Structure 1
Amino acid sequence: MQATKRYTFEANLSDGRCVDIFTQAGADAYLEFGMSNAPMSLSGNVKDMSKLLSKRKLNAKDMGELEKMNAFSNGICSYASHDVFRQAMPASEIEVWLEFAIERINTFSTNHIYITTGKLANYDLSLLSTCLAMMLHPVPTALVFESQFFQALAGFVKARKGNGRALPCADICATVTLMVSNAYMATRAAFDNKWTSEKALKKLEATGVLEEFIRCATVPQPPHCCSPQLSLMIGEFQTCTPFLTKKLVKGQPCGDVVHAILEGRDGSRAERPNILNGLKTMVRFVESIDPVQKDAIDYRICRMCGKGDTSESFQQSLMKCARCQQAYYCSKSCQRADWKLHKKVCIPRTKFETKQSENLEQMLHTFCAQHYFRIMVKMAKACEQTGQHKSDMLVELDYCCNENGIVPAMKDEPEFKIAPVKEYLEGSKPAEPDWFGKKGSQEYNDNVKGYLHNLKDQYSKVLPSQFLFLVRYPEGTSTYKLQLIEPITKKQMFSQQAVRAFKTYMDHGDDGPLSRFLSPSYVVGVKRKLGIVYGYGMPDGEMSTQQAMDVLQSFGMDLHLNSTRF
C-alpha cells in the first residue's frame, strides 16, 4: 500500500483489487471488504503511531509514516458514504482511535512550540483533519459527545490564550470551527433521534468548546473554509433564542467571550466582519427578547369573537388550544365555532417549539416598541401610495442572517417592507417575499405551503386596532396580529386613526391628531424623531439638549407598551 500522489491513496486488497480510498467508490469498497481483512485499520494505525511517537526524536521517515497513516484514516472518513461507513465501520475501531486522538490533543496543549507559536507539525495537523472528517458521521459524533474529546479540544485552544488573547494559527482555527460545526449539524440532521438546536448548543457549551469555537471563528479564513455546515450552525446559533437568553449574557462563559470580542479584548485582531456582525446580532436578539419594559402587560384576545377585556379576571379565564398552544378563546362555544378554520393551521407543538414561538413574539413586540415611528411613517406612505386601508396591509420582517452575518430586521436602521395583503394572496403570480426561493423549487413550495393558510386565516380576523405581520425566522415563517396600547391614554397605537394622525403631521405639521391618542411625552418624541430622521416638522426649541436626548432615548428604549397576542 502506498500514497502514489497527492490526491490518491491506493490500497491493495487480498482479493486482488486495488482501490483508491480518496474516492467514494474506493473508500466504500475498502470498508465493505472488512477492516479485519484489510491491510490497514484504525486500531492498527493507532498501535503503529503510538510506537513511533514514543521515540525520543522523529526522523523524516517517521514523520512521513505518521502522515500516511493519518491520510488513510482521513480518506476513509472523508470519502466513504454515510450508509456504508455506518454499517461497515466497527464502533470498537472508532473508540480506539478516539481515545488516541484525545491523548494526542492533550499532549498538544502542553507543547511549548504550540503554546508560543500556535502551530503544530504537519503529522499532528493531519490528526486534527481526521477528527474533522470523523464528525461527518453520526456514530463517531455520538461517541465524541460521550467522551472527553471536546473538553480536550477546548483546553487545546485555550492553552494559547495565557494572559492575553492569543489563538492557534488560522489553519487550526479553521479546523476547530469546522469540526464543531460538523458535529453540531450531525446531531441536528444525522442522528436517529435528532437533537434540537438548544440541546446541541447546551451539550457543546457544557464541554467548554463552544466559547472556543466562537473565538476561533473570528480568525479570517479563505472562502473554501466556509462550509455549508458552518454557515448553518452559525445561522441557527444566532437565533436559538432559548439558548441565547440564558447563555449569551455576562457572567456566562459564552456571553463573556462574545462581549469581550465585541469590546476588542478577545478574538482575532484581524477582523472577520461577517462573524462580528453575527455576534452583534446575537447580542441584539438577547436584548430584543429581554426588553426593558418589565411591567408590560401581554393582553390576549378571543380568536373567534375578538373580545379583549384587559381585566385580570378575563385574561385568566381565556382558554388555550391544547393542540397548538397558540389560539385563545373566551368560551367553549367560540372554540367550537372557530374549529373549521382553525384546524387548517392548528399544528401540535413541542415544549421547545412553544417557547421558541413565545420568544419570536417577544422579539416582534420589542421591534414595534423600538421602531414604532418608523413603522407608522412607512404605513402612512404605503396606504397613500396604494389607496389601501391599513387593515389590508402587511408588514414583512426578516430575522434570518444573510451571507454577511446581518439580520435585516436587527440593523440599526431596520429593513422591512409594507405592501397590500392581496399582493401575497391574489392572482396567478402573487408577490411572495424575495426569500421564498425560485418559483417551482422545493424551497419555494415549502414556503408557500407553510405561510399561505396561516396568512389567509390571520388576515380574515384582523381587528381595526391591529397590524398584520409576516415574519421570517430560521425555522420557517409565521404570521402575527399585533395591537399596541398607549399606557397613559389607553388608546390604540396601530389604529386607522393613528395612521391618519401621522399622515396629517407629515403633510401639514399639525400635531393635534397625534395628541388625541398619544400622551404629551410621546408626541414630543415622535415629533423629534420625525424631524431628525425624516425632516418632517421642527423639533421643539424649548427643550434643552439633555431633555431632547432623554426623550429620544426613552422613546427608543423605554416605551412601555401593552401588546395583544393570539
Structure 2
Amino acid sequence: MHPDTHFPGYLPDGSSIDIGNREGADEFIKKGGFLRFANHSIPKILDPLRKKDKPSHDDLEKLCNAYEIIGQFTGRCSPAVFQDYISRSELEKFFDHVNLSFKAISRLRGWKDRGSLQGENDQALFECALLSMFSHTSAVICALEMNVIRNLANLVSSLGERVPSRKESVRVCVIIANTISTLSSPEIDRSWPIDKALKRLEEEGALAQYIRCSVVCGDDLRVMNGLPSIYKHILASTALIKKYFVKGTPTGDVVEKILEEDARSNPDSKVICYLRDISKIAKTFSSDAILNTTTRNNMCRNCGKCEGEGEKFGNCSRCISAHYCSKKCQKDDWKKHKQVCKTTSKRQAKNEQADNQIINVFFQENLVPIMEKLISERKKLNVTSIADLNLEFDFVRTPTTFKVKETKLYFEGNKHNLPLWYDTDEERMNATTVHVKSFYENMTPNHLMIIAQITEKSVSCCKIQPMAPDKKVILLSDDSLNVLEKVIEKADVQLLRKYYGDQMARPMVINLAQRHPKIAQVMTKMANIENKNNCSNLSRRHGLDCYSNEEEVLSQIAAMRSTLSPGESITPELLTKMMGKLQLQRGLLSGFDVRERATQLLQDFVAGGGREKQAREMLPTMGIHKHLDNEKVIEHLVSFQTMADEE
C-alpha cells in the first residue's frame, strides 16, 4: 500500500479528485475515472505514441503521467470497489496497451544490450501501473487470459542466456509474486489453490523466469519478503516438483543450470539454498528405479497382503489412501482406521503419491547401507525382528539422512531419542503417532515401517514390503538380513547370489565391495580369473593361439583389461600403449606406425558402419595378426561384428 499523498486524478467531466488516499481512489473509480483513462487516454493518446519511432518529450511525459495515475488509484482503492466498478472491457483495453508496450521495449537497444528500461515512462509502466494493477484478482485473471504474463516472460527470455538488470529483475519478480499472492489470497471469492497458481505460471513460462530473476535480486526487501513463501510452497508440493521441476522440463533445466553456474559464486544465498532443496527432491523422480517397492498404496491395511498382478485392491472412499484386499478386511479395520481417516482432496492424494515415490527411490538407492544399519541396530537394541524397527528419513537436511529407531519409542515412554522435527508440531506429532501405532499392530517380519520428513510441513508414515522386480523375492526381511550378515562376516558373495539371483545381487555386491575390503579382495580375484578366461577365448577365436608368444599376448591383454572399470572400453591410448610394448619386446610390429595406423583403422571401421566399442576391443588382437594390411584387418573386424550380432 502506498503512503497517502496528494495526487490529482481527473474525472470525465473535467473535475479533479485527490486519489492519494483510499477514499479518494474509491470515489475516482466510482465516478468513472478509470473509464476516462481506458476509453480516452489509452486508445486516443497512448497507443499512437507507442507506434511512433521517436515519441516527443511531451508524448513520453503523457505516458509517464498516465502510468502514475493508474498506480495511484489501483494501489489505494479497495479490492471490492475495483472488482465492482472496473469492467472487463476497460481492463482489456489497458492490457492490449501493455502487450504493445512489451513488444516496443524488446526492440529498444537498452533492453537488448543491458536488459534495462531506459525511459521514465517504461519504468513507470512496471513500477507504478503493473505492480499496483496485479494486486487485484479481476485484473490478474484478465492479464492471464490476454497472455500478458506470457508476454512478460517472453520479454525476459528475449535476452537469451542473460537476465535483466538487477532493478528490472526485482520488478519482474514482484509482479509475478503479486500475481501468485493475489490468485491464492483467502480474502477473495473462489481463490485459487497455490498449486494451481504456480502451475498456471509454469505453463505461461513465468515461473522459470521468476526463478532466473530471483537469483540476481540479492537482498532486495520487496523480493525477499515474498520469496520464502513462494519457494516454500513449491517445496511443500512434491507433486508440483515431480511434474515441473525434473530434468528435461523447462523449469527443471533452468534450476539445474543455475545450480551449475550461479551456485559457485553465491552458494549461501537464500535462492540457491531453496533451489538446491527443490533439485534434490526432483532428482528422486528422475532416478531409474532398481526395485519394485510395494507401499501402503497397494498393500492391504488390515492383513498386509500385497496387491498381485491382475488384482485391484479397493480403497477407503473418504481418505483414498487406505487400501483393502476385501470388504471384510475393510470392515475389520474400521475401528482403528476411523481414528486417522480424513477426507483427502485429489491434490493431497497426488502429494501423497509423490511423497511415497521420494521415499521409495531413496530406499532403493541406499538399500545396502540401510540393511547394514538395520543389522547393527537389531543387535544393539536386542530386538528379534525388523517389525520392531522403523526407518527415519529426513529429506529437509542436505544430504538426506536416515536413522533406525525402535518403533515403540514413538508412542511409549519418553521421546528423547525421537527427531527434533517430530516434537515441534503437537498436532502433527499426534497424527503421526496414531499412524505409527496403527501400522505397528499389523507388522510382520517381511514389512518395514518408514517415517519421513519430506518438507518442513510434511511428514509421511508408511509400511512397505520391498520386492525384487520379478516380485518373487522379498528384498528386505529378517531372512535377508541374516544372509547379508553372513556375506559380510565370511566375504562369501555367492550366498547373496543364491538368495537374490545374479541380476539383483550384482549391484549389491558392488556396493558391498566399496564398503568392505575383504569383499573387495574376493571380487578382485574373481575378476582376474574371469579376465584370463575371456582373454584366452578371445585369443583362440581370432587365431592368436598359433603364435609362440601366446602367453605374453594373453598377459598383455589381461593386464590392460584389469585396469578398466566395469563396462569401460579399451581406449586408443591404451591400445597404442599395449601395441607399442609388444613391438619393443618382440618386434612383431616392426615398421608399423602404431598410433597413426591404429587411429586410422578405428576411424575407417566406424565410418563404415561398425561399432566403436567392438573396434576398440578388436584392434589389439588384429594389430598383432600376421596380416597387417588395412583391408585384411577391416575384414576381420567385420567378421567380428557379424559374430557379435549373431550372438
Deviations 1:464-485 (A, max 9, x none): 2122112334573221111212
CA distance in structure 2 between the partners assigned to 1:322 and 1:149 by the alignment = 41
Distance in 1 between residues matched to 2:275 and 2:360, nearest whole Å: 22
Give CA-to-partner distance per residue, 1:415-464, whole Å, 9 cap, x none: 233333333323576766434585xxxxx244235433323222222222
1:458 partner letter = F
Query: What does residue 204 of structure 1 align with?
Result: 201
Q: Could you tell me how far apart the structure 2 residues matched to 1:437 and 1:9 are?
A: 49
Structure 2: distance between partners of 1:271 and 1:251: 25
Match for 2:388 among 388, 392, 410? Answer: 392
Q: Which amino acid aligns with 2:317?
A: A
Residue 23 of structure 2 corresponds to 29
Distance 1:229 1:43, change over 3 A: farther
Residues 43-52 or 361-370, more deviating: 43-52
Within 5 Å, give how 1:128-527 maps onto structure 2: 128-130=126-128, 131-161=130-160, 165-190=161-186, 192-196=189-193, 199-219=196-216, 221-237=218-234, 240=237, 242=239, 245=242, 247-248=244-245, 253-254=250-251, 257-258=254-255, 275=271, 285-289=281-285, 291-293=287-289, 296=292, 298=294, 300-308=298-306, 310=308, 312-313=309-310, 315-316=311-312, 318-388=313-383, 390-399=386-395, 408=397, 413-427=399-413, 433-435=419-421, 438=424, 444-474=425-455, 476-487=458-469, 490-502=472-484, 517-519=499-501, 525-526=507-508
Q: Aligned in 2, Cα 1:67/1:394: closer, same or farther, shift over 3 Å?
A: farther
SS in 1 for 2:107: coil
Q: Residues of 1 paired with 2:493 and 2:388: CA distance?
A: 26
Aligned to 1:227, what secondary structure does the other structure show?
A: helix
Corresponding residue for residue 3 of structure 1: none
- Residue 128 to residue 460, structure 1, CA distance change in 2 (3 Å): farther
For 1:225 and 1:377, the matched residues in 2 are separated by: 49
Residue aligning to 1:126:
124
The CA distance in 2 between the partners of 1:82 and 1:452, in whole Å, is 44
Greater relative contact order structure (CA < 8 Å, 6+ sep): 1
Pairwise CA distance, 1:501: 4.9
Residues 139 and 434 of structure 1, relative CA distance in 2, 3 Å threshold: farther
Task: Give TM-score scaled by structure 1 length.
Answer: 0.73
Distance in 2 between the 1:73 and 1:326 partners?
Answer: 50
More helix by share: 2
Is the 2:34–2:86 contact (alpha carbons within 8 Å) kept by the matching residues of 1? no
Conserved 8 A contact 2:435-2:461: yes
Distance 1:86 1:141 in 2: 11
Q: How many percent of aligned residue pairs carry the same amino acid? A: 22
Distance in 2 (CA, whole Å) between partners of 1:535 and 1:225 is 56
* In 2, Cα distance between equivalents of 1:277 and 1:65: 44
Q: What TM-score does the superposition give when structure 2 sets the normalisation length?
A: 0.65
Deviations 1:91-125 (A, max 9, x none): 67655544443332232122232122211134422
How far did residue 147 of structure 1 move?
1.9
Match of 1:107 among 89, 104, 109: 104
1:198–1:242 CA contact under 8 A, matched in 2 = no
Check 1:231–1:79 CA distance in 2 against 1; reply closer, same or farther (3 A cut): farther
Change in Cα spacing, 1:34 to 1:422, as seen in structure 2 (3 Å) is: farther
Shift of 1:144: 1.9
Write the distance in 2 (CA, Å) between the matches of 1:454 and 1:43. 61
| CA shift in 2, pair 1:309/1:52, >3 Å | closer
Count of residues paired in the alignment = 512
**CA distance, structure 2, for counterparts of residue 93 and residue 449 of structure 1:** 52
Taking structure 1 as reference, are residues 434 and 147 closer, same or farther at Cα in structure 2, changes over 3 Å only? Answer: farther
Shift in CA distance, 66/345, structure 1 to aligned 2, threshold 3 Å: same
SS of 1:494's partner is coil
Higher alpha-carbon Rg:
2
Change (3 A) 1:436 1:487: closer
Task: Return closer, same or farther for 1:51/1:350 CA change in 2, 3 Å cut-off.
Answer: same
SS at match of 1:541: helix
C-alpha separation between the residues in 1 aligned to 2:76 and 2:430?
Answer: 36
Mean CA deviation greater in 296-305 or 511-520: 511-520
What is the DSSP-based 3-state SS (H/G/I as helix, E as strand, rest coil) of the residue aligned with 2:5?
A: strand
CA–CA distance in structure 2, aligned partners of residues 392 and 79 of structure 1: 61
Give the secondary structure class of the aligned counterpart of 2:370.
Answer: helix
Instruction: Extract unaligned runs of 5+ from structure 1.
Output: 1-5, 400-406, 439-443, 551-566
